[in-house]
A and B are shown apart, each in its own frame.
Chain A
């Protein structure tokens, strides 16, 4: 079974700084997908970024980028120029796509606070 580990339960950062959220996972699969979701206080789950395991290039979405290290099974999220609106829970998630079953396995989450 796949597992996802977010070892830092909580972090804080000053506005405009850069912060990196760590995530490791365990799988024997070679082809899979990784996601970061954001959950602000409104509790809505919002997809931040997605990475295909077969792609060596790291995904980027505006201020958000990932550092994907397949051999190390590591998938960290970097937030540049942090904004107050980035304050949220962040969840790392793993997906193995097989036979139409698109199950997302989530880590336990990490609370990020951006301070003014």
Chain B
């Protein structure tokens, strides 16, 4: 089944404790992206990657890191999480072109 797999689905952590949210796709898509969803703000892009070893900032990159060492994986790293990073996070992938995204099932992150 073609899909984007995100883990974990839920995560509660404490301020300052480094964490990684994993994302993997099995569709050989070139483009991958991370979004955060907050009430009243919609989805905002954090980082994106056009291909292996090519990443760039989205609209809200502060406090996040990403890497794209393999085509299928695009992990999101929070090196020192803060409470304002409490949010619902989505990973998405797409082939190049105007096809829209396939989304992962989301990660609900709470930073206390």
A binding-site residues for B, Cβ under 8 Å: 4, 9, 33, 35, 37, 43-45, 47, 50, 52, 91, 93, 95, 97, 100-109
Contacts and interface: CB of A to CB of B under 8 A. Distances in A.
Contacts of A4: 42
Contacts of A104: 33, 43, 45, 92, 100-101
A44 B40 contact: no
Contacts of B56: 101
A103 B48 contact: yes
Give the interface SS of chain A, mostly helix, strand, loop or mixed. strand
Contact of B106 (A37, A44, A100, A101): A44
Given A43-B106, A103-B48, A95 B43 contact: no
Nearest to B58: A103
Contacts, number: 66
Given A100-B30, A101-B48, A106 B43 contact: yes
Interface in B76-112: 88, 90, 92, 94, 96-101, 103, 105-106
The 6 closest A-B pairs by CB, nearest first: A45-B103, A108-B42, A33-B98, A106-B43, A106-B42, A100-B50
Given A33-B98, A102-B94, A102-B96, A108 B106 contact: no
Interface in B57-78: 58
| Residue among A4, A9, A102 with max Cβ neighbours from chain B (10 Å) | A102
A30 to B, nearest CB: 14
